[in-house]
Each structure stands twice: as structure tokens, then as C-alpha cells.
Amino acid sequence: MFDMIIGVCGMLLILFAFIMDQTHRWTSDDLWYDFLNFLGSFLLAIYAITLNSIPFLILQLVWALFSLKDTILDIKHRKKGLKRKSLKKIMKRKNR
């Protein structure tokens, strides 16, 4: 029963972030979007272990790693006063 609660919580976190993105309340560059995706996929990876589902585990671990990377970047850019979108624009200007 505890494993089911972990799985449902992970699923709800990812779905909530997805809904917030789709309704344009957040973007995929927002800290909360990335953090909830990380946390949700991490919980679903734990759930995948309890199911002994290797494909589902690999999917969730990859999802968690990329979401963690984006969460860390969001935090670093927040400390510098930049959003990732702003940083992307700056990098494009430098490459021209």
C-alpha cells in the first residue's frame, strides 16, 4: 500500500506541473516546473523498483536526472537574477 501512495504522489506531481505548463501558468523553464518533475519522477522511480519494472525505472531515472539538471540551473540563474530564457537570449546574441 505504501508503494502505491509513493507512485500516486509522483504521478500527481508530474501531472500538476504538466497542467500548469499547458494552462500557461508556468513555462518549462520555471523552477517549480522542473522541481516538481524531478520530485515526481524520483518518486515514480522508487515505485518502479517496487514493481521490478526496468523500462519504467530507466525512463523515470532519465527524467529525474534531466529535471534535476534543470532545477540546479534554475537555482543558479535565480541567484544571478536571470531566468533561463534570458540566458538563452544572451547566449544567442553572443553567437551571432
What are the CB-based long-range contacts (under 8 Å, 24+) for 55-61? none
**83 membership: H or E segment, kind and range:** none
Take residue 89 and report the three cell numbers written for it. 537570449
Take residue 21 and report the three cell numbers written for it. 505548463
Is residue 8 predicted with pLDDT exceeding 70?
yes
Would you state the pLDDT for residue 84?
Answer: 62
- How many domains does the chain fold into? 1
Mean pLDDT of 9-28: 95
Take residue 74 and report the three cell numbers written for it. 534554475
Which domain does 8 fall in, by range? 2-95
Residue 83 and residue 73 in contact, taking contact as beta carbons nearer than 8 Å: no
pLDDT digits (tens, 9 = 90+) for 30-89: 999 999 999 999 999 999 999 999 999 999 999 999 999 999 998 988 887 766 665 555
Higher pLDDT, 90 or 51: 51
pTM: predicted TM-score of the whole model, two decimal places: 0.80
